[in-house]
Amino acid sequence: MSEPVPFLSIITVVYNNVAGLQYTFESIHKQTDKDFEWIVVDGGSRDGTKEWLEKLSFAPLKFVSEKDNGLYDAMNKGLAMAAGKFVWFMNSGDGIYAETTVATLKSQAAANDILYGETMLIDEQAAAIGIRSEKTTRVLPEKMTTYSMIKGMVVCHQSFIPKRSIAPLYDLKYRFSADIDWVISCLEKAVQVHNCKMILSSYLVGGLSVQNQKTGWKERWKIYVAHYGFLYTSLAHVYIILRYLWVFKILKRNH
């Protein structure tokens, strides 16, 4: 007899961050609904991550510890190991927001292809900074469609949960923006997209270097053109630039 399919595959990528992994584990372990598997992809850490995982007595855990070719390659390994109905990326240092989150997601899943929600930004001490839509220019759409993503990563990756059946592998030709391409690809395949209207994850704030940001912007342009076409992408970016100039002008005038 085959094993029952879990509701969720929670996938965590880690590299030399055992403390962050432990924080993520605590948020997973305390869930009131345990209908999930936890997949950890360790990139060959040397800080005791593998040893900690080997000693961990947690039935839903599956893990691999080996060298990979970067973040998105590791995430692809996690997808390949996943058996759940939905897949949820929750990388080391990030966490599930509340003890009842998985139970609530399960109650809202129904015939939906994608579940999404808000994100609480946290610092390195796990202290709350604020809700992502309120602390950044990336406001979560009330109703999310494929074209919502033309404004950027309007949903945090850790609060975007697609069915495994519509989740492709990450395109490894994108080093910094493959997550945007992945989210758009999922949205293109989805029929029902559901806003859970709740905070789903706690996301550890970090940043790319200026050089990496520039590369990411170039990749993002290519992704948008591939999905939306050159004309629509160009017009949308004119709007985005004008909007930022208007916001900058208002802020400057108020100071």
Look at residue 241 and tell me whether its pLDDT is greater than 90: no
Do residues 114 and 186 make contact, with C-beta atoms less than 8 angstroms apart?
yes
Q: What is the pTM of this model?
A: 0.91
**Would residue 206 be called left, alpha or beta, if left means φ above 0 and alpha means ψ between -120 and 50 degrees?**
beta
The DSSP bridge pattern shows strands 114-122 and 160-162 to be: antiparallel
The domain 8-209 having CATH identifier 3.90.550.10: the answer here is yes
Look at residue 134 and tell me whether its pLDDT is greater than 80: yes
Domain extents for the chain?
8-209
Number of helical (H) and strand (E) elements in the chain, helices listed first: 8, 9
Residue 157: what pLDDT?
96
CA–CA separation, 118 and 231 (whole Å): 31
Tell me the pLDDT band of 2, cut-offs 50, 70 and 90. Answer: low
**173-196 confidence digits (pLDDT tens):** 999 999 999 999 999 999 999 999
Chain-centroid distance, C-alpha 196: 15
Tell me the pLDDT band of 254, cut-offs 50, 70 and 90. Answer: low
Tell me the one-letter amino acid at 9: S
- Helix or strand holding residue 249 (H, E): helix 230-254
* Phi, then psi, of 112 in degrees rounded to 5: -75, 145
Look at residue 253 and tell me whether its pLDDT is greater than 80: no
Residue 248: what pLDDT?
57
| CA within 13 Å, CB half, 70 | 10
Query: Structure tokens of 74?
Result: 């590791």
